Amino acid sequence: MKDWLTKAREDFPELKGWIFEGHYYNSPVDLWIDLVSLLSSAYWEQSANDDLIGRIYDYAAWCFKQPDSGTAETDLSSATAVGLIETIPQDRNVSQDLYRWMSLESFEGFENIFRYTLSDEQYGKFREEFLRMKQGYSGPSRI
């Protein structure tokens, strides 16, 4: 199994100076804090940085496919759920664009994680918007 930080360095080479030098990541959650910040920032560029956004979701998909490490601190699925998925509804730019990156099956599978930070009413609106946008989209999902 490839180490999560080695994989991140390979997937995000343009960030070497910014994200990997001077930062020490004790856990995958530490890395997700910076990746979520980059994801959010990618939407503030003149046109959204789809390449970076896609690589972040691809890295998340890779993390979800890794075997359970046996500890909460190093389990990649748990870290990705907490570090990325839980934060998506909190960023309007990210949540409005989620339909392009996440499959309906994954969205439904993450319902409890989304609901962790949303009221029933907020989740209902979030889900309704995702489904409405997803209906008109035929592109592939990354996660």
From residue 4, give the alpha-carbon distance in Å to each of 33, 80, 95, 103, 139: 14, 11, 25, 23, 28
Domain boundaries, the chain: 4-135
pLDDT at 6: 86
CB atoms within 10 A of CB 114: 21
Q: Band the pLDDT of 112: cuts 50, 70, 90.
A: very high
The whole-model pTM stands at 0.91
38-73 pLDDT, tens digit each:
999 999 887 889 999 999 999 999 999 999 888 877
Average pLDDT, integer, range 26-33: 88
Q: What is the pLDDT of residues 89-99, one digit of tens each?
A: 999 999 999 99
At 71 the three-state DSSP class reads coil
Q: How far apart are CA 77 and CA 81, in angstroms?
A: 6
